[in-house]
Structure 1
Amino acid sequence: MPELHTIRCVGCEGGIPPLTHEEINKLLPELQDWKVSQDGKFISRHFSFKGFYKTMAFVNAVAWIANQENHHPDMEVGYNYCLIKYTTHAVDGLTQNDFICAAKIDKLEA
């Protein structure tokens, strides 16, 4: 199977089941420091930065990825941090798209 960061997201309008806990646990090791919510409906990661400008540069890079993949996270942004949460609202849970985008965001730090 190709690495997640090399795959493109597939449009999702619902009608598919969210990932099972087993499927989530298979994909999670491909990500860096992402956590799964207790209900298994979203993944999140907290990023820290040295100052506002670096935080905003990161936020803009995430926005570019989200638009390229047409899959958008919820973000909480402060002076020196960004909390990113991914879920697929159309299925009320996680899909492979969430993990693809998270893997692409991980590559911003590489």
Structure 2
Amino acid sequence: MSSELAGKRCLPCEGGVPSLDADAVQAHLKQVSERWEVIKDGKAIRADFRFKGYAKTTGFVNAVAWIAMNENHHPDISFGYNTASVLWETHAVEGLTENDFICAAKVDALVDG
């Protein structure tokens, strides 16, 4: 899925701004792949990924970490032999911001080419 979000950069967020409301979350969700689901009562998005072996899984995790460092927006990542889960949320606002969806779109671009 191609998304304008993947071409954007995250903006610094130190709090003091509102998180996205439910309508904005749904609008942003339409701009990322269907693998992303809203969790934690609308305060986070998560996607699960499967790979063919540990090397591909760790390569993916490292690539997501590189995206996170470049965007200065850091997900929770858990992984095993051939699975990985990525969770984005903006802790400073205790909810979702456009930054979360920008990073999700960048992960989509990584996986889907």
With the shorter chain as reference, the TM-score category is over 0.9
Indicate the residue corresponding to 1:107 in structure 2.
109
Distance across 1 between alignment mates of 2:90 and 2:73: 8
Deviations 1:24-83 (Å, cap 9, x if unpaired)? 010101111100015100000000000000000000100100000000000111000100
Indicate the residue corresponding to 1:12 in structure 2.
13
Which segment drifts farther, 36-45 or 83-92? 36-45
Matched residues, number: 109
The alignment status of 1:37 with 2:39, answered yes or no, reads yes
Letter of the 2:16 counterpart: G
Give the superposed CA RMSD.
Answer: 1.0
- Secondary structure of 1:30's partner? coil
Letter of the 1:17 counterpart: P
Letter of the 2:4 counterpart: E
Distance across 2 between alignment mates of 1:107 and 1:3: 11
**Identity between Structure 1 and Structure 2 (%):** 53
Distance across 1 between alignment mates of 2:4 and 2:110: 15
Of 71, 91, 94 in structure 1, the residue corresponding to residue 93 of structure 2 is: 91
Indicate the residue corresponding to 1:62 in structure 2.
64
Structure 1 length as normaliser, TM-score?
A: 0.96
Runs of 4+ in 1 over 3 A off after TM superposition: none
Unmatched tracts of structure 2, length 5 or more: none
Unmatched tracts of structure 1, length 5 or more: none
